[in-house]
Structure 1
């Protein structure tokens, strides 16, 4: 039997206010005055200098503000890489991603594509990356996706939505400063937190489950229940706990896999551009047949926080459009096998998936 030799993030700083240590973390990693650090920052912080003013730019360092309104695309990665290479005198010293899952995924993908030829779409899949990425740092400003710890960077390409899954993808350094999450809007906080919760349910009920996944998954699940069902947490406690739930939730799928909600959410995202967190929620709300206990608790959390999910997003789709979503969802075979076992194709038909999508 061959076991996965999983690369973990080698360095992590955790603590409120730890973002202030970024400059001293980066200083020893600079390759010279012509090798800049490139900061990819969510453009919600463009008008708010609270983050950018704490970054010391030297030499040719650059801040590039990036919109996270849409899921990251392979074409977006290629454009960023071209811009960075054309405007840098030498290969950058590092890429620093500051934002939610979209920015973290972009930072991981850009750091890989600076050292690998061709377009990002050529690397969507498992272990296709040949050359190590340049130094890259992840600093989440919202918690839940687990992108800060994972070995994938999920991208929408011209033909599919699939991650660059490789040993070179994980960050070299992560800074977990829960203070950076204090201004996240409530609905976004809920949807991204539920991404973490759904990671746990899919991992803990899957056929790939093992003690590694189970240990992290249970920790993350307990934290999610504390955060979203209890009344006695301060804002600071809730922010710190969700940051660690995201980390543990990401670790729980390292040695297992996600499941049906993620597979079907990829279909929504590919066709309709639905953001990952809300897409997972829309799908998961209809998966009682597969995750009865998980969906029951999810509905309790939704009610407690007065969250109304969008309805009818698939109401006007043609058969052709349904088939596009179904094909994307079914292409993610490891997710279905984790959820339902090796014979999953006997139970999951195009008609069944279409009926589920029609409820959304």
Structure 2
């Protein structure tokens, strides 16, 4: 039997989880009812919505029960989310409203969900979002925030990280205050996602799982979520026998489970190197992961083999020559950004990872992309 001192000297992290989630086709129609108990007088709810829906407002906007003070802000996701973008949205909200909003509702893919989490944090914390890039730097609780994914795979709806490109690096705000207070998972919202984008974002989930399950941070908790997400990904992308409705619903569950898996472990080589690509070339996260992972057979042989099979089944051709014209200075920045993400490398290669990988190793991989 453990002694009292043994019980109280453990060093396990006590991570938060999303406290409320609703799942099902048409569940988005409940958004007004779900947030009503969080409304604080005339303080508005601010909806941050992917600007892709601005051309088809009936699909989203006409279903939102706005009060007199609520506002919809359409946000472009042409580029990866930036700390400056967060700061601009926060400044606009503070300028336009006398009161702190009742809450932030993010509707879109991983970029919008990350922006929404960051905005909700910065409404209650001073300074710039760039000052909070890192682990456990946030001091004040965020305003109430809701995530509504319209594409699945990133796991942003469940993770405690909001990934942002800052003036010096691409790094997440990783905090106990980051996770959404409420998530609405409505498979109907992802039914019209273009095939390539559906594949790239779904592969973000698949790669999460491979990196988590083959990492040194793996434990029974992350393993149970990662294995379920991986099985769902294989059912969706390898067997290819599901109806579109079935695949959409299961991809939402794969994304959720994949996000939970890395919350209690970490990602690895593909994500670290993808961050370097995004910082220098602006490569979107999902496709960036795919471009890098395709070349990582040395690190994840079985996972890469299955990935190549998935590409073939779905007729996906990845861009080539992505780094053909990059300069040596750009390569140096890419490798510096990638190697700065030490927890990812430790998860992938162990505590002695610096003896196994260096800038020259990464430059060789980048040049092959």
Q: State the TM-score, normalized to the length of structure 2.
A: 0.97
1:210 aligns with 2:219: yes
Match of 1:323 in 2: 332
Match of 2:258 in 1: 249
User: What secondary structure does 1:103 align onto?
Assistant: helix
1:97 aligns with 2:106: yes
Runs of 4+ off more than 6 Å: none
Aligned mates of 2:289, 2:45 — CA distance in 1: 34
TM-fit CA distance, 1:232: 2.0
Output one character per residue of 1:156-206: Cα deviation in whole Å (capped at 9) or x when no partner. Answer: 000000000000000000000010000100000000000000000000000
User: What secondary structure does 1:46 align onto?
Assistant: helix
Match of 1:36 in 2: 44
Aligned mates of 1:289, 1:306 — CA distance in 2: 24
Match of 1:263 in 2: 272
Q: Among residues 45, 48, 55, which one is paired with 2:56 in the alignment?
A: 48
Aligned mates of 1:341, 1:281 — CA distance in 2: 23
Contact 1:315–1:358 at 8 Å: present in 2 too? yes
Aligned mates of 2:23, 2:240 — CA distance in 1: 25
TM-fit CA distance, 1:318: 1.1
Which ranges of structure 1 fall in alignment gaps of 5 or more residues?
none
Q: Among residues 140, 143, 162, which one is paired with 1:131 in the alignment?
A: 140
Count the aligned residue pairs: 359
Aligned mates of 1:26, 1:213 — CA distance in 2: 30
Matches within 5 A, 1:47-196: 47-49=55-57, 50-196=59-205
User: What secondary structure does 1:116 align onto?
Assistant: coil
Superposed CA RMSD in Å reads: 0.6
Output one character per residue of 1:67-113: Cα deviation in whole Å (capped at 9) or x when no partner. Answer: 11110000000000000111012110000000000000000000000
Aligned mates of 2:164, 2:359 — CA distance in 1: 24
Aligned mates of 2:223, 2:161 — CA distance in 1: 20
Output one character per residue of 1:272-327: Cα deviation in whole Å (capped at 9) or x when no partner. Answer: 00000000000000000000000000000001111110111101111111000000
Aligned mates of 1:67, 1:309 — CA distance in 2: 24
Match of 1:283 in 2: 292
User: What secondary structure does 1:253 align onto?
Assistant: helix
User: What secondary structure does 1:53 align onto?
Assistant: helix
Aligned mates of 1:144, 1:232 — CA distance in 2: 19
TM-fit CA distance, 1:57: 0.9
TM-fit CA distance, 1:231: 3.1
Q: Among residues 215, 230, 241, which one is paired with 1:221 in the alignment?
A: 230
User: What secondary structure does 1:345 align onto?
Assistant: helix
Aligned mates of 1:271, 1:259 — CA distance in 2: 19
User: What secondary structure does 1:174 align onto?
Assistant: strand
Aligned mates of 2:356, 2:40 — CA distance in 1: 55
Matches within 5 A, 1:344-355: 344-355=353-364
Aligned mates of 1:232, 1:103 — CA distance in 2: 31
Q: State the TM-score, normalized to the length of structure 1.
A: 0.99
Aligned mates of 1:259, 1:54 — CA distance in 2: 39
Q: Among residues 267, 279, 293, which one is paired with 2:302 in the alignment?
A: 293
Contact 1:60–1:88 at 8 Å: present in 2 too? no
User: What secondary structure does 1:289 align onto?
Assistant: coil
Moved more, 310-319 or 288-297: 310-319
User: What secondary structure does 2:173 align onto?
Assistant: strand
